[in-house]
Structure 1
Amino acid sequence: MDTPAELGEFLRTRRARLRPEDVGLISYGARRRVPGLRREELSQLAGVSVAYYTRLEQGQSNNASEGVLDALAAALRLTEDEHTHLRNLARPGRTKRRPAERPDSARPGTRQLIAAMGDVPVVVVDRRFEVLAWNPLGHALTAGHLDARSPERPADRPNLQRLLFLDPHTRELYPRWDEEARRAVASLRLAAGQYSEDRRLAELIGELSMKSPEFAALWSRHPVNSCTFGAKAFHHPTIGALELSFEMLQVPDDSGHRMLMYSAEPGSSSEAALRLLGNVTRSAVTRTEQPTAPRDPKAAMLNAGGDSRPESR
């Protein structure tokens, strides 16, 4: 990804959302050619020269100090996630290395853990939001129309972002799709800044920008948010409507893997619906794994060419 260009776009979008009166500056009513703060106004607030800030916004400086970045973040009233994103874009060479291009996979311990969480839907994703693993309930909740074993095949591994914007079944799953789309783009923006040298991540963004006008429009606004917790509404094809809380937990290593887990409020109709989905899923898994009844030993022997004479009376 073109990190200098991304930095300039990010700074411009954040300047545009602030008015002089929002930050205590006097506006004399002169017609402004661009929305939001001017470069010189932001420079004044951050305590840096206009020339230096202009170079930074134009991607001509890649050695901004922590003090300058902190001052800009304060002047622009950035959130914690936006502040992190600013540092990632402004100083990419100091914080990132090129990720390995070989297919990723969830650790055996992670797979064992999510398998033990039978009553909790869990989906394990990598930094690109590719599904590395899911337990049966996680699969049934989020992508029951897909092959449950697809995460095991890197060539056609599901990607949560691609499904959300390009798969019609997934779109129908979220009655508040616009809200889900904004959340997805904001979290993908943060990942793109953190892993700016990840070629496959850049290819995913390019694909979605080309194939989904809705994604392209949201991406141009440069939203940034980690989206690690919150609530989601579902309209599931099997159990109907439910509202679930979600938590995105980081796996404690440097892999970038995360576990997306869902839960329902105790005593709610959503909890009952989730329990029903669990029962349906377990029944389906049991039928799939049910061993065939053992054949009659005598019939097996006959079929194998044994003695076929009838028994004497």
Structure 2
Amino acid sequence: MKQNLLLTLFLILCVCLPVQAVQGGAGKFSVAKDKQVYFSHGNLQYVQSTNTWQFAELQYEFVGAANLTIGEDGNPVLADTIDLFGWGTGHNPTLWSYDSNDYNEYVDWGVNSIGSDEPNAWRTLSVAETRYLLTSRANALKLRGSASINGLFGMILLPDDWASLEGINYRDKWNITKEYTLDEWQQMESQGAVFLPSTGIRTQTEVEPPKQAIYWSSTGTAQFAYGILISTCTLEIGSNSHPYFGGAVRLVQDVNNVTTHTETHPHVVQPAEKVVKNGIVYILHNGNLYTVLATKVQ
């Protein structure tokens, strides 16, 4: 009887408690003196046809130029799956207006249910938190650097407790981009490393080539919004941009607010595997097969 009662209480708790995806085994990153966060395993995406939010399966995956397609009138329109958003458009992800007044109301993207997560499980870093992460935490300048993973440019962030990996020569410089193989990246990712790919920026008529990217913060106004600007030649922390530009979003969870689960969860960082089929190298991640350029194989 006692065992049955305990089992019943356990099942009730499992059903009633909100599930939050955590970066199981992933790195913790200080964004203030007394605050650490986990990063989501990929950039945020929105699917228009299903009105749903999701994270990219791979850290270096991004939609790029495919954010736009050609409409029936011959003009560019937003594609079904997008990952470049105007600032603060958590309530209106398809807003594509060049009128700054349309961006008066900031709504964090994390208020939404993303994948199987409860609403408000995720949030966007403020510009102050971003600046602390990149410049003020212990060894901050040595825990970030430009990188190229299998030919895709971006920025690597290393967790607070990063320890060197044998055989991998990590470089923390920005003007000299370090190139990493997929094998090297998989080792780094398994130890909590985060990669923010250079996604390109959506303008009024196009998505610029992925030589630079804006990653939005939660700080800004209708006139100027703040974030980080990543490019092949510089890193601008607290960069201000017009809110109508299409920028990337990488969400976080506060460490103390996360319920850790041991089971595999679709948002937990699972190291990708390299597989070879018919002489062609693919990436296997969470049961899905991708090309080395992060294109999903149907």
Common fold by TM > 0.5: no
Q: Tell me the TM-score normalised to structure 2 length.
A: 0.26
More helix by share: 1
Q: Tell me the TM-score normalised to structure 1 length.
A: 0.25
Larger Rg: 1
More strand by share: 2
